[in-house]
Amino acid sequence: MNPPIRFSGPVKAALDQGRPVVALESTIVTHGMPWPQNFETAQAVETDVADAGATPATIAVFDGHIHIGLTGEQLEMLAKAEKVMKLSRADMAYALSEGKTGSTTVAATMMAASLAGIEVFATGGIGGVHQGAETTFDISADLAELSLTGVITVCAGAKAILDIPKTLEVLETGGVPVIGYGTNVFPAFWSRESTQKAPLRLDTANAVANLWKMRQRLGQQGGMLIGNPVPKTAEIPREEMAGYIRTAIDEASASGISGKNVTPWLLARIVELTEGRSLATNIALIRHNARVASEIAVALTN
Ligand code: PSU
Ligand code: MN
């Protein structure tokens, strides 16, 4: 294989020397949060990773090349961009062969991280099975990617805009270990708890590293999902989110929002409905995930 990858200097040095690296996605920057919080958060997350002893590798596609580790200018360009592609497995190679620029979703970031030899990845929330998927068939490619690609993905669970029980079923079918990190309950992004149990539970970064190494001893190839609940001080309780989510989903279907636009549209609408509170929660949880992912990356090098 000969993928068109450009590494930043710090990421290249860390990988060459076997030091811990944490991959970070960029769709949260282009489609997940408004300016300027998207830019400030992307920078804060990189600092969080560095403070925890790992090298941050934010991933995006520029002019037909996968960039692993971005400059401040590249990050700012993405944060201000209005028309970059939101790339997933289905269109990653198209963006590269056509020389395009795009941000990477969980699925595309996992693909790129795996090609680059990065084993740990922090995001906010994964895509999943949408409510009403039995009629829309809207199931994020993130789930298939988790079953295919060998990257540990740290998230704050699945947003309650998704059908969480069906999302967990699809992950189980795909052979993806879903770990509650310090919790018995699968987290629901803005809220610490969903109505679902976490299928498995681990309490330390070392335990996650040991599980990962055991999967490698068994020759298992896919990813693992770590569900790390949002810190208590930043959470919005489930009962309170339920109303906002219902409103946003009803409006989206009435307006005919479909395909790739569904998740960004719902996230933006929920920021409005919560008068910005959901954004503050989103920022807190991604920073928390970055710290836990860094601890896991460090544990893997021990
Ligand atoms: N969750 C968030 N913010 C985001 C996303 C998820 O809180 O920006 C993004 C991620 O990049 C995820 C993508 O991979 O949305 C899922 O999109 P879709 O549902 O279209 O697969
Ligand atoms: Mn979708």
Q: Which residues of 208-223 are buried (b: 16+ CB within 10 A; e: fewer)?
A: bbebbeebeeeeeebb
Question: How many domains does one find in the chain?
Answer: 1
Q: What is the pLDDT of residues 132-182, one digit of tens each?
A: 999 999 999 999 999 999 999 999 999 888 999 999 999 999 999 999 999
Neighbour tally for 140: CB within 10 Å: 25
Quick one: which of 30, 124, 136 has its CA closest to 77?
30
Q: Which of 76, 145, 159, 166 is catalytic?
A: 159
105 CA distance to ligand 1 middle (Å): 6
Residue 160 confidence (pLDDT): 83
Instruction: Name the residue with the closest Cα to ligand 1, atom 10.
Output: 105
Report field, pTM of the whole predicted structure over 0.95: yes
Mutate to test the pocket of ligand 1, among 35, 105, 282 (most ligand atoms within 8 A of CB): 105
Residue 15 confidence (pLDDT): 98
Q: What is the pLDDT of residues 204-219, one digit of tens each?
A: 999 999 999 999 999 9
Report angle CA 280, 281, 286 to the nearest 5 degrees.
105
Pocket of ligand 1 (CB under 6 A): 25, 27-28, 31-32, 105-106, 124-125, 127, 140-142, 260, 263, 267, 282
Domain limits for position 203: 5-301
Quick one: which of 290, 302, 298 has its CA closest to 121?
290
Beta bridge pairs of residue 152: 120, 224
Quick one: which of 203, 194, 134, 207 has its CA closest to 168?
194
User: Mean of the pLDDT values across residues 75-99?
Assistant: 97
Residue 207 confidence (pLDDT): 98
Q: What is the pLDDT of residues 4-38, one digit of tens each?
A: 999 999 999 999 999 999 999 999 999 999 999 99
Residue 40 confidence (pLDDT): 98
Quick one: which of 145, 194, 189 has its CA closest to 170?
145
Asked if residues 159 and 153 have their Cβ atoms less than 8 Å apart, the reply is no
What CATH number has the domain bearing residue 250?
Answer: 3.40.1790.10
Is there a catalytic annotation at residue 25? yes
- Residues found in the chain: 302
User: Mean of the pLDDT values across residues 111-128?
Assistant: 98
Q: What is the pLDDT of residues 266-297, one digit of tens each?
A: 999 999 999 999 999 999 999 999 999 999 99
User: Which residues have a Cβ under 8 Å from the Cβ of 60 and sit 6 or more positions away?
Assistant: 26, 67, 70, 74, 78, 101, 102, 103, 104
Q: Of all helices (H) and strands (E), which one includes residue 39?
A: helix 37-51
Is there a catalytic annotation at residue 159? yes
Neighbour-count burial of 73, counting CB atoms closer than 10 A to its CB (0-12 exposed, 13-18 middle, 19+ buried): exposed
Beta bridge pairs of residue 200: 179
Residue 147 confidence (pLDDT): 98
